[in-house]
Structure 1
Amino acid sequence: MRELVVVDIGGTHARFAIASIGADGAISLDEPETLHTADHASFQTAWEAFRTRKGGTLPAAVSMAIAGPVGSPGNPNPVIRFTNNPWIIRPALINEKLGVERFTLVNDFAAVAHAVARADDSQFLHLAGPEKPLGSEGTISVLGPGTGLGVAHLWRSGRQYRVQATEGGHIDFAPLDSIEDAILARLRRRHNRVSVERVVAGPGIVDIYQALAALEQRTVPERDAIEIWNLGTSGQDSLAAAAVDRFCLSLGSVAGDVALAQGGFAGVVIAGGLGYRIRDTLLASGFAERFRAKGRFENLMAGIPVKLIVHPQPGLFGAAAAFVAEHGEAA
């Protein structure tokens, strides 16, 4: 049994856990701990706080899932800066600063793709397409609406797989009807170019809601995204509910586009906390119909299983899987 620290770092929170890797490669996590990034001057001080909580010692290996670019083969040791917190991570100093012997850095959505590759069938909820497991051969597309829209994909053949992080959330938004034309027109007043994550991400619900109100020539109070999501998913406000349904339609369209672009014919996985919170709404919405609605390729799309990953900590689980993929199970 090998142990390592796994960390999932976003703008607001950093989640820590100890991962155990069994002799058979099975991954298990202890109870995660969440630290607020604003409460710590640096990642190192957050690490030290977690170490104190764990009794003063930690395993000599760490894998970090990071909300942002983590380098490339041509630039393997960048200075990693976060958009929404002041932390800086210098990969060249990780061993010295954290007192570890091995480390892995992985983009947060690549970590989710690693989780998809390693999770068993019980960790997925069926959303659309044939009710069968994700394919064991071929490409699986992974996307998740949150503050932005994360997109990745993985290719696997049996137990072997490879993950690729992408910036697919920044492809152009393509309206399919007059309502989406109105949403695009509203967004174009602020943005020269409208990407899909302007619509198919948590904050996008505000523009959808306001666009629907304008179509009905209604004056509505200023509401933030959280309030609209709560009103819409609970059914307390019919306009907010219509906005949530429209979001689900657009998510279905984007998921289908991503599958076509990536060749994700072995399956598509929706990830992220927002997807899980609206799972019942997704099932009852036109998500599946929009996913299939690709003209001459409708029959192809209808044969793709679409799932929602329900693992409670896919970022941490995926960080552990990424470490195993890089260093091996015995590392």
Structure 2
Amino acid sequence: MSDTRIVTVDIGGTHARFALATIAPDGTITLGEPATLHTKDHGSFQLAWQAFRDMNGGTLPDAVAMSVAGPVGGEVIKFTNNPWIIRPARIQEMLGPTRQTIVNDFAAVAYAVARADETEFLHLTGPEIPLPETGTLSVLGPGTGLGVAHLYRDGKGSYHVQATEGGHIDYAPLDLIEDAILVRLRKRHNRVSVERVVSGPAIVDIHATLAAMQHEAIHEMTDVDIWNAGISGQDSLAAAAVDRFCLALGAAAGDYALAHGAGGVVIAGGLGYRIRGTILSSGFAERFRAKGRFSALMAGLPVKLITHPQPGLFGAAAAFAREHLHQ
């Protein structure tokens, strides 16, 4: 058997990442150098595909694995935070690939978790042990939205990935500050979901709420500005917003673990990796465990951060290998 070459794509709300990948007969996946395109710079997925094809001399492999930020399985894929539309039945006609795999973006991350080496995880809280080989793992991560999936492993080397839209469940505040965040959000949204508080853009409302509570003027800052100022520690209000974000992330991670019956939790995404230091020094762990009668149970769950640089691309390739190559 020879290697299989594919295009692997990870499409989020802000970026579309493309890479060439090689899948060896033994299942080993090797990613080429990723190319990151801004979705706002390309009017459609087809135009972004053509741009990547041009970067690679005008030709691409005839197989594609796609990770997309939204529900999959219908005749039309519409993205949760991105205006592109993809019709899976027309991919061969429009783009050329004769084989395709399309998975939800956090299903792809769960595939990456299933295949990643133990060295590619950073321990966050709970017992410092490997992730269990049997049972369910909750996988979640903040980005433009909040992605959630879960992974079941049977202890014999096989596994099943389940995509979800868990980022859209109702948000539950846990203290007076979060009550104030909810009040602010309800002025614009009839229903406030978790990703309105636990996602990259959500830092703007967290920051504005803290400013109002301090009776400070709300300066116009983008989410990127707030993240940069908060992570660097150069701005105390922005730093407090990032810390508050970590509390909300910890509470949400614990909720998903309870809902999934998980034996471990994995945090993923570029934002999660970027704020890993703040997660470790914040009240993330305390919020994760603070589940009343189940606090002891939560304290026994290992919680880790996947450090693979491109889990979406790697996971989409793993999903392709599983579907088409039975690996």
Which residue type is aligned with residue 203 of structure 1?
Answer: P
Q: Deviations over 1:103-145 (max 9, x none)?
A: 1111111111111111111111111101111111100001111
Alpha-carbon deviation of 1:12? 3.5
Q: How does 1:1-331 map to 2 (within 5 A)?
A: 1-71=3-73, 75=74, 78-82=75-79, 85-158=82-155, 159-265=157-263, 267-329=264-326
2:81 touches 2:144 (CA, 8 Å); kept in 1?
Answer: no
Whole-Å Cα distance in 2 between the matches of residues 18 and 92 of structure 1?
22
TM-score, with length taken from structure 2:
0.94
CA RMSD of aligned residues (A): 1.7
Alpha-carbon deviation of 1:95? 2.1
Whole-Å Cα distance in 1 between the matches of residues 255 and 4 of structure 2?
40
Alpha-carbon deviation of 1:302? 0.6
Alignment partner of 1:186: what SS?
Answer: helix
1:21 touches 1:329 (CA, 8 Å); kept in 2?
Answer: no
Whole-Å Cα distance in 1 between the matches of residues 220 and 43 of structure 2?
34
1:146 touches 1:274 (CA, 8 Å); kept in 2?
Answer: yes
Runs of 4+ in 1 over 4 A off after TM superposition: 83-86
Alignment partner of 2:147: what SS?
Answer: strand
Whole-Å Cα distance in 2 between the matches of residues 105 and 213 of structure 1?
42
2:13 touches 2:144 (CA, 8 Å); kept in 1?
Answer: no
Which residue type is aligned with residue 65 of structure 2?
Answer: S
Alpha-carbon deviation of 1:84? 5.3
Alpha-carbon deviation of 1:220? 3.4
- Provide closer, same or farther for how the CA distance between residues 171 and 38 of structure 1 changes in structure 2, counting only shifts above 3 A: closer
Q: Which has the higher mean CA deviation after the structures are superposed, 192-201 or 84-93?
A: 84-93
Which residue type is aligned with residue 147 of structure 1?
Answer: T
- Which structure 2 residue ranges, 5 or more long, are not aligned? none
Whole-Å Cα distance in 2 between the matches of residues 34 and 162 of structure 1?
29
Which residue type is aligned with residue 268 of structure 1?
Answer: V
Which residue type is aligned with residue 62 of structure 1?
Answer: V
Alignment partner of 2:181: what SS?
Answer: helix
Q: Which has the higher mean CA deviation after the structures are superposed, 214-223 or 229-238?
A: 214-223
- Which structure 1 residue ranges, 5 or more long, are not aligned? none
Whole-Å Cα distance in 2 between the matches of residues 160 and 120 of structure 1?
15
1:249 touches 1:290 (CA, 8 Å); kept in 2?
Answer: yes
1:209 touches 1:243 (CA, 8 Å); kept in 2?
Answer: yes
- Provide closer, same or farther for how the CA distance between residues 154 and 276 of structure 1 changes in structure 2, counting only shifts above 3 A: same
